[in-house]
Structure 1
Amino acid sequence: MKGQLSNHLEQIKHQLWEMNKGLYENPELGDQEYESMKLLANYLKEHQFEVETGTVNRPTAFKATFKSGKPGPTIAYLAEYDALPEVGHACGHNLIGTMSVGAGIALSKVLNQIGGNVVVLGTPAEETNGAKVPMSEQGIFDDVDVAMILHPSDQSYESRESLAMDAIQYAFSGKPAHAAASPEEGINALDSVIQLFNGINALREHVKSDVRIHGVISEGGKAANVVPDYAVAQFYIRANNRNYLNEVVEKVKHIAEGAALMTGATLEISNYELSYDNMVTNQTLSEVFNKNLKQTSTLPLNKDKPGSGSIDMGNVSQVVPAIHPYIGMNKPGIVHHTKEFAQQTVTDDGYKTLVSGALALAQTGYDVIYNEELLRAIKEEFSHQL
């Protein structure tokens, strides 16, 4: 039966490759991926998937479903297709989207024999305001048994953990005045931001080593001879798990409040992007995928390493058994978010990555549907995670 998956993927691999190149040549930023979404969604329609767009009120999100009409679990493949400013698809989301679409279509071709359902979810804006967050909150995964996504990288890595993250803005309002003639009349909002940075730097000594706090001054005044009456700092605050992150965020809130008190400014705190939870890999599902990837790819599969970034797949992993492995493009040392990385996605190595990755995903979906004992083990592990 797995041989059939390979045969079905063989029939569509050239179309998948053309879509991958089309995404690369026409990169679209998060929540602006209108043409990218149409490209993937229309191809799924051609293969008898029922497609709805605008999922969770995100215009460039979609849900494509293929039902066998027979009992069985539902497998979800998650597609990303947002690009980065200036460097385009430098995180390889063109490959992510096409691998998930390819896996979904290949698996759909054998469902009439084994039962179950397959869903391909188009998830915009992973780089900024990930749609997987509201999808996780609004019940999109309620009828899903396992969720998978495969990310290109320099080398292949097992599914790993990621950091929980909050994106928080601290806006200070003061009072303008002539900085030379009447500085005593002013309240310097920029001084509040500077004290916030100083306080955070002092905090770093007293938090766990996994914590990452990094930010910028997005607004700091307009002219040197005017006391800044409005200043804004934006920070990403990260930690290994959501509970400890919440503690750190509270500490930074107190620092910001202290900075406002020191200067006399007023403070407004808000989230400028959605919060990401930490990724929890389902090891049972991961082991099955690893076995399949070793069969479809000739590249070595490395053990997972501690994650330092944050992904909205973390939110998915809190509500359904999930994996987020990495597949190599035969370019050890190449760095994400660079033009070199984007270019690698459309090389011969990128083509091999697409085919072997899509097949490994499809085979893993098949294993979960066909092996009831495996699915029970996956769900048992997930129940202990909660």
Structure 2
Amino acid sequence: MKNNINQTIEQLRDSFYKISQYIGENPELGHEEYKASKILTEELRKHGFRVELGTAGLPTAFEAIYDSGIPGPNIAFMAEYDALPELGHACGHNLIGTMAVAAGIGLSKVVNSCGGKIYVYGTPAEETRGGKVTMAEQGVFDHLDVAMMVHPFHRNEKSGSSLAMDAIQFEFFGKSAHAAGSPHEGINALDAVIQTFNSINALRQHVTPDVRIHGIIPEGGKAANVVPDHAIAQFYVRAENRSYLDELVKKVKGCAEGAAQATGATLEISDYEFSYDDMRTNLALSDVFTENLVQLGIEGSTIHEKGSGGSLDMGNVSHVVPSIHPYIQICNEPHACHTHEFREAALSDQGFEGLILGAKCMANSAYDIMTSPELLSKIKKEFSILK
């Protein structure tokens, strides 16, 4: 049956190539991915999937279902297809979205022999206000037994962890005055921002090594001779797990509150993007994926362990359902994601071969789960313990 899955994906490689190139050459920002969503869902409908658009109230999200009509596991593949400002698909989401669709279609050709349902979820805006966060909060994934996606990279890596992240905005309001003629009449909002940065920098000595705090000042005044009455600081605050991050965020907010008191400014705190939970890789599921990767010709010695790095909205999914987020090699040079070089790699022939490999591996792994109740039980048992 796995040969049938792989043959289907090979037979449709021209269609998948056109889709991935089209999305790559027509980059759309988060929640604006109308072209990408349309071409992906059209391909799924063509192969018998029932498609519903606007999942969880997100216009460019979708849920595609192929139901064998036979009781069995509910397996989901996650599609991403948003681009980055100015850089386009420099994180390879043109490959991720098409890969999920290819895996779903490949598996659909054999699922009637084993039973179960196949879901392909279109999840917009991973780079900013991640669609998976909203979808997870609204219970879209609660019925699933397994969820998986594959991310392009410069080498093959097992699914690992990611950092939980909050995106926090500190907006300070002061009082304007002439900076030379009457500075004593002003309240400097920019001073409050600078004091916040200084306090957070002092905090760094007293946090665990996994913590990452990085920020910018998107607004700090209009003219040097006017005391700024309005200033904004935005921070990403990250840690290995959600519980510690919640404690850390209280301290970071305390830094801003202290700065407001010290300067006399007033403070408003908000989240300017969605919060991401840490990625909880299901090791039993990850082992299945790695075994299939080896079966498809990848040497086990070239599959690296993945540590914690950035933040993913797939992390939110992993708190709801057993999940993996491994990485597939699409280039030989160690190009970092979110660069022009990685964008070109995602449009290259080698990048497309990574797409095909990832799609086969996900579909084959799903087939293993659908045909082995013992394996599914092992995956679920691990998830219940971690949860």
TM-score by length of 1: 0.98
- Judged with a 3 Å threshold, the aligned counterparts in structure 2 of structure 1 residues 190 and 153 are, in CA distance, closer, same or farther, namely same
Q: What is the distance in 1 between the residues matched to 2:3 and 2:303? A: 26
| Residue 332 of structure 1: how far off its partner (Å) | 3.7
1:259 matched to 2:255: no
Alignment partner, residue 373 of structure 2: 372
Q: What does 1:98-113 correspond to in 2, within 5 Å?
A: 98-113=98-113
Name whichever of 121-130 and 298-307 sits farther off.
298-307
Aligned partner of 1:369: which letter?
Answer: M
Q: Tell me the secondary structure at the aligned position of residue 333 of structure 1.
A: coil
Summarize deviations over 1:57-77 as a string: whole Å, max 9, x none: 111111101101100001000
Q: Tell me the secondary structure at the aligned position of residue 192 of structure 1.
A: helix
Name whichever of 273-282 and 331-340 sits farther off.
331-340
| Residue 11 of structure 1: how far off its partner (Å) | 1.8
Q: Tell me the secondary structure at the aligned position of residue 8 of structure 2.
A: helix
1:76 matched to 2:61: no
Alignment partner, residue 156 of structure 1: 156
RMSD of equivalent CA atoms: 1.0
Summarize deviations over 1:12-55 as a string: whole Å, max 9, x none: 11100110111111111111111011010111011111111111
Aligned partner of 1:223: which letter?
Answer: A
Q: Tell me the secondary structure at the aligned position of residue 120 of structure 2.
A: strand
Q: What is the distance in 1 between the residues matched to 2:9 and 2:306? A: 31
- Judged with a 3 Å threshold, the aligned counterparts in structure 2 of structure 1 residues 330 and 179 are, in CA distance, closer, same or farther, namely closer
Aligned partner of 1:356: which letter?
Answer: L
Alignment partner, residue 62 of structure 2: 62
Alignment partner, residue 166 of structure 2: 166
| Residue 90 of structure 1: how far off its partner (Å) | 0.6
Q: Tell me the secondary structure at the aligned position of residue 159 of structure 2.
A: coil
Alignment partner, residue 331 of structure 1: 332
Alignment partner, residue 340 of structure 1: 341
Q: What does 1:215-294 correspond to in 2, within 5 Å?
A: 215-294=215-294
| Residue 294 of structure 1: how far off its partner (Å) | 1.7
CA contact (8 A) 2:80 2:123 kept: yes
Alignment partner, residue 40 of structure 2: 40
Q: What is the distance in 2 between the residues matched to 1:125 and 1:311? A: 11
CA contact (8 A) 1:294 1:301 kept: no
Q: What is the distance in 2 between the residues matched to 1:5 and 1:379? A: 25
Alignment partner, residue 385 of structure 1: 386
Which sections of structure 1, spanning at least 5 residues, go unmatched?
Answer: none
CA contact (8 A) 1:278 1:314 kept: yes
Equivalences, count: 386
Alignment partner, residue 193 of structure 2: 193
Q: What is the distance in 1 between the residues matched to 2:373 and 2:188? A: 64
Q: Tell me the secondary structure at the aligned position of residue 210 of structure 2.
A: coil
Summarize deviations over 1:199-230 as a string: whole Å, max 9, x none: 00000000001000000001101111111001
Name whichever of 301-310 and 16-25 sits farther off.
301-310
CA contact (8 A) 1:297 1:356 kept: no
Q: What is the distance in 1 between the residues matched to 2:302 and 2:128? A: 29
1:26 matched to 2:26: yes
Q: Tell me the secondary structure at the aligned position of residue 12 of structure 2.
A: helix
Summarize deviations over 1:306-326 as a string: whole Å, max 9, x none: 222000000000000000000
Alignment partner, residue 49 of structure 2: 49
Which sections of structure 2, spanning at least 5 residues, go unmatched?
Answer: none
Q: Tell me the secondary structure at the aligned position of residue 275 of structure 1.
A: coil
| Residue 301 of structure 1: how far off its partner (Å) | 3.7
1:316 matched to 2:320: no
- Judged with a 3 Å threshold, the aligned counterparts in structure 2 of structure 1 residues 366 and 62 are, in CA distance, closer, same or farther, namely same
Alignment partner, residue 305 of structure 1: 306
CA contact (8 A) 2:90 2:339 kept: yes
Name whichever of 144-153 and 340-349 sits farther off.
340-349
Q: What is the distance in 1 between the residues matched to 2:306 and 2:323? A: 17
Q: What is the distance in 1 between the residues matched to 2:213 and 2:20? A: 35
Q: What is the distance in 2 between the residues matched to 1:308 and 1:349? A: 25
| Residue 297 of structure 1: how far off its partner (Å) | 4.4
Aligned partner of 2:377: which letter?
Answer: R
- Judged with a 3 Å threshold, the aligned counterparts in structure 2 of structure 1 residues 374 and 205 are, in CA distance, closer, same or farther, namely same
Q: What is the distance in 2 between the residues matched to 1:297 and 1:14? A: 22
Q: What is the distance in 1 between the residues matched to 2:208 and 2:298? A: 39
Aligned partner of 1:308: which letter?
Answer: G
| Residue 341 of structure 1: how far off its partner (Å) | 0.8
| Residue 352 of structure 1: how far off its partner (Å) | 1.4
CA contact (8 A) 1:160 1:306 kept: yes
Aligned partner of 1:4: which letter?
Answer: N
Q: What is the distance in 2 between the residues matched to 1:9 and 1:34? A: 25
Aligned partner of 2:51: which letter?
Answer: V
Q: What is the distance in 1 between the residues matched to 2:38 and 2:140? A: 20
Q: What is the distance in 2 between the residues matched to 1:226 and 1:330? A: 51
Name whichever of 106-115 and 150-159 sits farther off.
106-115
Q: What is the distance in 2 between the residues matched to 1:56 and 1:235? A: 27
TM-score by length of 2: 0.98
CA contact (8 A) 2:331 2:345 kept: no
| Residue 330 of structure 1: how far off its partner (Å) | 3.7
What percent identity do the matched residue pairs reach? 58
CA contact (8 A) 2:96 2:149 kept: yes
Q: Tell me the secondary structure at the aligned position of residue 359 of structure 1.
A: helix
